[in-house]
Each structure stands twice: as structure tokens, then as C-alpha cells.
Structure 1
Amino acid sequence: MANSEPTRGRAEARIDLTAIRENTARMRERAPSAALMAVVKADGYGHGMVPAARAALAGGATWLGTAFISEGLRLRQAGITARILSWLAVPGDDWAAAIQAAIDLSANAVWAIEEIAAAAAQAGVPARVHLKIDSGLGRAGTTPQEWPRVVDAALKAQADGLLQVVGLWSHFACADEPGHPSITRQLATFREAVEYAERAGVRPEVRHIANSPATLTLPEAHLDLIRAGITIYGLSPAPELGTARELGLRPAMTLAARLALVKRVPPGHGVSYGHRYVTDRNTTLALVPVGYADGVPRAAGDRCEVLLAGQRRAIRGRVAMDQFVVELGDDDAACGEEVLLFGPGDFGEPTADDWARALDTIAYEIVTRVGPRVPRVYLGAPQAEQASGIEVSR
């Protein structure tokens, strides 16, 4: 979809909900025998959690994934009834509210099972629990050595009517690096953990380990459920797997702003804090009123480009809290003229992947850091969004 409408304020992030819907459908095609969980944590990777969730559900997702219970509760408060898994909690978290809201929970340790069971007793409703094993990522999940204790504790609470073990799961460390030796090791560890749990009496509804890159490259890991995150927002999980275009995905976010000032300066004119950049000739500078408080990386100065007046232009000097400077040379632009920081590339603008490469990071970080000072404007809303009263633009 061409995002051709001019920016209406200082800046805006245009979110193409049709792209999210179609990206979800494309990922669904990659794993036709598995259900699809759309991961909408971190405010939908910066795209807006509720609109992104509805668009993904319209594209064929039947589950939603969040990191925190509070995120799952926000989805319920918005009237979303799909299955939700929230997986990252701390002692004393609001387990009871999650259980009452029919949010599935993840347990990484015996203490979590004990707290979930106590909350279920308080709520008067059994909790739905997914047991997570650390198959080799070295992050969340119980170790293989502790797995029997966790399984036994969960089965005891299940026998007491306090929870149901509905899922067994894990997460890859290097699925975005095809051929990495850890991939086969993790799959083997996960299969062993599932076999142990099932021999002990667990009857899971879903077994899941495949994230976006595993969905793209490891059909043997699809199992009952895939968890698609960055790909539903139209970005590639890793350069090694191909560009978004090569993967049949469309970036959903376009970050745009309007020029606040255009001026001509002489040679030797320092630009922004520290004068890291000094002009070497008569040149035109343009001021873009977004900065690191809006999520534009401070390090983007002299490393990233934007699209302005029909061409890519270099950011000059340090990005400040609220603004940065672009150099136009002998070209001209008008105050209020639109600048595209990144988008799908329809007009020649950089993509989030381009910014990620320039900054030695990943596109996930580029889109999720776009802050709340930047309004989201939703384009191409599927019918579900139109019916829900979400503000859209055509």
C-alpha cells in the first residue's frame, strides 16, 4: 500500500494493517498443519498492540502472545477473546487476574507453579499452564536437570484441580542462523523433555518451539503451534534468511516527520552537539523534529539516511532528544515538507532493515523503540478493526 497522504502533525508512524494481516496469512501458509500465535508484546513491536492483534487474527492467527500479564489483560480489556499466552512473570505477579481473564500462563520453575496454583485457588478457576524448558537458549525455562521436579509439581497441582498443563514449549537461540549446531541440539532436548512429561502423564494441547525464523526454515519444528513475531510486521528475522521482499513480507510501519526549519549555511558550520560534523561547503540543512526521545537512535547521526525531496539524504551530526539535521547540499526543501525515515521502500525511502544494518543492530530494535510521542495512524484496516472503532486513515 502506498502511504502517500502527507504527515498531519510533527511526526507519525503509519501502520499498514493490511500488511500485518497479509504477512500473518503468509506465515500461516508456511506451517499449514500448525496453529499460529501472533506475538504482540512490546505494544505490537511498536505498531500498536490491539490493532496489530486484530489484524493478525483477521489474517489467520488463533493465538496471541505477550511477554507480560499486563499486556494480556490489555488485550482482554479491548474485547479480544482469542487464546492468549503470557510468559514472563515475577514472584507476586497478578496471576489471579490473568486466570480470571482466561490467559494462559508459562511456568519456568516450581515457585511459579506454586504461585499459580495459589492464585487459581483464590480465583476459583483452574489455570491453564505451559511448562517451559530451557533447551539451550540459556534464558527463561527450567533446566533439563530441574525438569522432572517442575513436571511433578505441575501434575500434583493438576491432580488438585488447580491447573491444567496445556502446553510444553521452548525457544531457539540461533534459528536465525541456518545450520547452527545448537538448532539440532535444542530440538533433541525439547523432544526428550516432551517425552518425559508425556510419560509422566502430561497431555498437552500444544507443543511449540518454532519462532519466526524456525517457521521459515525448520518444518520439523512446527509441531502444533508456531509463534510468529517480527515477520507479521513484515520484517526479516535475519539477513541470512533473505530480505522482507524475498520472504514475501511487507513492512507495516512507515515513520514520517515534517521539516521544522530549512536554512543555508557556509563552510565550517558545526552541526548539532559536539560538532562531530562540520560543513565543508555552502550547503542547505533541514531540521527534522524527532529525536531519541521518539525512538530515533542517537547513533544514527552520520550513519543513517532519510528520504527528503525525492532523494535519500544523510543525517548529519548527533541526533538530539527532539530533533536531528539532514543535509541537502544545493537542493532545497520547504518547511513542513515530509521526510520518510523508513518504510517499505515504495518511494525509495530506507527500510528498517537499512537502518538496522547501518547501526549494527536488528530491525526489531528499530521499530519497537519508536516512542509514544509519535502518534500511530492506521491504514487499510481489516473489517475487524473498522468494527472496533480504531482510528484509521484511507
Structure 2
Amino acid sequence: MEEQGFFYRDTWAEVDLDAVYKNTSAIKELLPENVGLIAVVKANAYGHGDVEVAETALAAGAGYLAVAFMDEALALRKKGILAPILVLGATRPDDVAVAAKNQITLTAFSYDWLEKATGHLGDLSLRIHIKVDTGMGRVGFRGQKELKQAESFIKDDSRFIFEGIFTHFSTADELETSYFNQQLQEFEALLDSLSVRPEYIHASNSAAGMRFPAARFNAIRLGISMYGLSPSPEIKPSLPVELNEAFSLHSRLVQVKKLEKGEKVSYGATYETSGEEWVGTIPIGYADGWIRKLQGQEVLVNGLRAPIIGRVCMDQCMVRLPEFVPVGTEVTLIGRQGSDFVGVDEIARKLETINYEIPCIISNRVPRLYKKDGKVIGLHNHVLGS
């Protein structure tokens, strides 16, 4: 393939930036004009590529970015991203000056954190969003008393710019809404206890942002659905927009051989041919995030399904081919080939996990090709540092 000059193995992922743009735009159109969109690009944009997705989301109407840790925010700054960035997770108080110098917004989640942060700010100003815990049980101030203490502390120190307040719903992607409503009511009560509301008030993730207009406030955080995936299988049929998966995974057969009846395949000799079979080897394995539990998962070869046989190795796995096909034939592990489609949700079901996890676990050893208008516009190859 023509991209071969940029990497030297026959396995790669493709990220459809048009899909990211369409998903972001479609969800943005659901929102009233006064509701902003915070694009969540943590974990290397859920394994898709931080700067590529960030630029696409901003072009599609996002006004703010969010990451999990300050390292991720600094990586975006180093790559030229100038948009506001919020760190959703905990940052060490010792590092607040670094955030301030790089115009990175931090999450204040405890009174102790605020007190310690003051000793490291010097004469710098720091934008903060207060995180309140309304029932998730992770980080955040709990109850009106703690929130009022935090607000008072911030008011007394002009170096803190109280820019936002947020919470996180734990069941927004479930059909049962009683606990969601309980959290929403708690958040509204906390907002009412503030003497002054900050510029940004955000509580909704992808699920809540699409399903519950009352929970949008003036910003939503768009994560999983920006990448074309439903927050959960149970709400997928009722989503108000059509989502387009942005991530696909591909490889090529590096060897094809005919095995006779009774021959064994892979470690542990767990697979035995039931007759004469064509077996193909694919250069992807558990070191790439294509883990051993995917034994038996079907991939697409010439538009037909072919099961993985034997144990998945560190760098390779084998498939039972429906017929002879030549070396070099493309294999689609995630994505569309011909009239068939292996979606991220199918892989998640096989692994008994959620779709969020799948693109995240495909390791940086797998090069990412970025496509727009059907053409490759960029490549990230972590191994070669390009």
C-alpha cells in the first residue's frame, strides 16, 4: 500500500476525522445556542489521537477541551493547541504554577487541595473549575457546607479565577433514571447555594447531553459519542443522532498455508483442524491490545468472516480462512469490509466490557492513519517517533 513508506509493518488503525466532525456537529446542533461544547480528548482522545481529534472537534464547534491529567494538557499545548483546556482529574498542588504558566484550567476538588495550592502559585493566576461529588464517589466537594467553604476561600484569594463548576453522573447511560434525577437535584441545590454562579456550569456527558435537556446547563462534555459510539447498548436505539464510528483496525495476511486434518495451531495446541483448512497469519497480537480473549472473534477477509483460531500470540494471531487467499490480502479486524461490519461494540461484547475500552487498549505500537475526505492526511507512528 502507498502508506507503507511511513511504517514497516502490516497492521495499522485508521481514524476517520470526517466521522468525528459529523458526530460533533450533529450533537452541537441538538444544543441551544447558549450551551457550549467541551470536547473530551483524554487518553489520547480515547486512543484516536489527541491533537488530530482536538483540532477536528474545535472546527466542528467545540469551544473547550478536557483531559484527565496535566501531562495530556501540556502535550496538546506543545502541539500548538491554544484553546482552553480543563484537567478533569486531580493535579498535584505542587504543579499549579506549571498549569498557570501554560494557561491550563485545573479542577479544585477539596479544601485541602486549595490550601496547598496557594503555597505554589506565587503571583500567578489560575483558572479553576470546582468539582462537586453528587453521588459518583470519586473526587469532589460533598454537600453545601464544603462547597460554601471552597467558594469563600476562592473569593479571599484573587489568584484563583472561579471559572466553572461541574459534577459527573454515574447512571446517565441507563434506562432507569431515578439515581440520575437524584444527582441532578443535588447538583441544582449546590448551585443554588452559591453566592455567584461561575461562567461554566457542566454536568452532562455524552449520554446526558443527548438525553436530558434539563441537565445541559450551559455546557456539556462530549466524550464517547464524539468518536461515534453509543454510551451504552441499552440507550443506543433511542439516541437522537446517527453516530459514525471513527476508529477502524486493519492488517494483512503475512502467510497462508494449508493444514491437514488433526494439525494443531498456536500456543497450548488448543485448536485442532477438523479437516483440510486454509490458515492465515496476521501480524497483530496482545502487545498491540488485541488480547488473548479475542480467540474465536471473527475478522473480515475479502468481505467474508474468518474466526481467530488458537491462542492470540504477543505479535501474531491465526485465522481459519473460508478459502485460499493470497498473502497480502487485507484483513479488517474493526470496521467495514464489503457489505459486512465488525463494530467496536462487537469486540466489546466478545471481551465482556464496554466500547470505551476497545480503542483505548489498542496500543501506541499500532500506527494511526488519519483520513479526511477519504484521503490519508496524516500519520502517527509512536514506535518511529513520527
Question: TM-score, normalising length from structure 2?
Answer: 0.91
Unaligned stretches of 5+ residues in structure 2:
381-386
**CA distance 1:371–1:161, change in 2 (3 Å):** same
Paired position in structure 1 for 2:272: 278
Paired position in structure 2 for 1:87: 88
Q: How does 1:329-340 map to 2 (within 5 A)?
A: 329=322, 331-340=323-332
Q: How does 1:198-209 map to 2 (within 5 A)?
A: 198=194, 201-209=195-203
Q: Distance in 1 between matches of 2:336 and 2:215?
A: 30
Higher deviation after alignment, 336-345 or 253-262: 336-345
Structure 1 residue 163 displacement after superposition:
0.1
Structure 1 residue 55 displacement after superposition:
0.6
1:23-52 residue CA offsets vs partner (Å, 9 max, x unmatched): 110111122341001100000110100001
Paired position in structure 2 for 1:134: 133
- Contact 1:24–1:60 (CA<8 Å) still a contact in 2? yes
Q: Distance in 1 between matches of 2:369 and 2:239?
A: 23
Find out whether 1:149 has 2:146 as its counterpart: yes
Could you tell me which amino acid in structure 1 is paired with residue 131 of structure 2?
A: K
Q: Distance in 1 between matches of 2:103 and 2:185?
A: 32
Q: Distance in 2 between matches of 1:154 and 1:363?
A: 38
**CA distance 1:12–1:247, change in 2 (3 Å):** same
3-state SS of the aligned residue for 2:234?
helix
1:297-351 residue CA offsets vs partner (Å, 9 max, x unmatched): 220101x21111220111112211111111114x012112111101256641301
Paired position in structure 1 for 2:352: 360
Structure 1 residue 220 displacement after superposition:
0.8
1:4-36 residue CA offsets vs partner (Å, 9 max, x unmatched): x77734211111111111111011112234100
Q: Distance in 1 between matches of 2:252 and 2:337?
A: 18
Structure 1 residue 286 displacement after superposition:
0.7
**CA distance 1:181–1:6, change in 2 (3 Å):** farther
Q: Distance in 1 between matches of 2:240 and 2:334?
A: 18
Find out whether 1:292 has 2:286 as its counterpart: yes
Q: Distance in 2 between matches of 1:346 and 1:70?
A: 41
Could you tell me which amino acid in structure 2 is paired with residue 158 of structure 1?
A: K
Match of 1:317 among 294, 307, 310: 310
1:159-186 residue CA offsets vs partner (Å, 9 max, x unmatched): 2212021111100111110233211100
Q: How does 1:166-315 map to 2 (within 5 A)?
A: 166-196=163-193, 198=194, 201-242=195-236, 247-302=241-296, 304-315=297-308
Q: Distance in 1 between matches of 2:125 and 2:300?
A: 54
- Contact 1:235–1:363 (CA<8 Å) still a contact in 2? yes
Q: Distance in 2 between matches of 1:65 and 1:30?
A: 20
Q: Distance in 2 between matches of 1:58 and 1:345?
A: 29
3-state SS of the aligned residue for 1:42?
helix
**CA distance 1:374–1:338, change in 2 (3 Å):** same
**CA distance 1:346–1:270, change in 2 (3 Å):** same
Paired position in structure 2 for 1:53: 54
- Contact 1:113–1:154 (CA<8 Å) still a contact in 2? no
Q: Distance in 1 between matches of 2:336 and 2:237?
A: 11
Could you tell me which amino acid in structure 2 is paired with residue 237 of structure 1?
A: P
Q: Distance in 1 between matches of 2:341 and 2:15?
A: 16
Paired position in structure 1 for 2:109: 108
Unaligned stretches of 5+ residues in structure 1:
none
- Contact 2:147–2:190 (CA<8 Å) still a contact in 1? no
Q: Distance in 2 between matches of 1:244 and 1:341?
A: 27
**CA distance 1:73–1:90, change in 2 (3 Å):** closer
Q: Distance in 2 between matches of 1:78 and 1:7?
A: 23
Q: Distance in 2 between matches of 1:32 and 1:74?
A: 32
3-state SS of the aligned residue for 1:134?
coil
1:181-218 residue CA offsets vs partner (Å, 9 max, x unmatched): 2111000111111111x2xx343111111000111211
Q: Distance in 2 between matches of 1:244 and 1:269?
A: 48
**CA distance 1:350–1:310, change in 2 (3 Å):** same
Paired position in structure 2 for 1:26: 26
- Contact 1:117–1:157 (CA<8 Å) still a contact in 2? no
Could you tell me which amino acid in structure 2 is paired with residue 236 of structure 1?
A: S
Cα RMSD of the aligned pairs, angstroms, is: 2.3
Q: Distance in 2 between matches of 1:223 and 1:345?
A: 41
Could you tell me which amino acid in structure 1 is paired with residue 305 of structure 2?
A: R
